[in-house]
Amino acid sequence: MFEHKPQTAWTAVEDFLTDTVVQPDEALKRAVQSAVDAGMPPIEVAPNAGKLLKLLVQISGARRVLEIGTLAGFSTIWMAKGLPDDGVLVTCEYLPKHADVARSNLDAAGLGHKVDIRVGAALDSLAALQAEGQEPFDFVFIDADKENNTRYLDWAVRLGRPGTTVVLDNAIWEGAVLDPGMDEVNAPGIIGALELMGNHPQLDATVIQTVGSKGWDGFALAVVR
């Protein structure tokens, strides 16, 4: 049996994988640094998770991506890289300051032409997308306030189509899914979304646990039936 390694070892392995396999370019490194410079919380996905999002966009053949939660645009850049040149990514960001930083990062990465940043409460932006009669999205990434996870998941189904891929970040939350008292604000929304994924007649889902620089966490992956 292997002995359990401390979190420092998880992060060291993540750094090795990032340098050896993922190899983020300067535009991605710039996005991470810009978030630090702007005083944003360091809550963007890890590089290996960002690359996974890119590959999932490519594997699914997505041409239209919806992201809920932009921050500085790190995950946005990854997914936009996975889209064809005429693909479209709509991302929802609550704070104008974050949206401005993300726009700068996307333009610097040469991907701004693919991305439409919607500023304001995501639930309002999602309702607006429906009202506009937008084409269905092929891929949806949810990584915003956890309290509204079930509502975001519902919108992912409504704005998707059969075959749409849905990824929900932060599905483990340091084990708070088993002890919501650890985080009474966020844990209930995460648990509710997982329960909805397991019982929704239009979703076929699984959950992957992860460890690394973001601690003990994971993501849920689903396909719309």
Per-residue pLDDT band for 7 (boundaries 50, 70, 90) equals confident
Per-residue pLDDT band for 4 (boundaries 50, 70, 90) equals low
Domain 7-224 listed as CATH 3.40.50.150? yes
Cα 211 to Cα 202: distance, rounded to the nearest angstrom: 29
Domain boundaries, the chain: 7-224
Per-residue pLDDT band for 28 (boundaries 50, 70, 90) equals very high
- Closest by CA to 21, choosing from 47, 46, 45, 44, is 47
32-86 confidence digits (pLDDT tens): 999 999 999 889 999 999 999 999 999 999 999 999 999 999 999 999 999 999 9
Indicate the length of the chain as a whole number: 225
pTM for this model (two decimals): 0.96
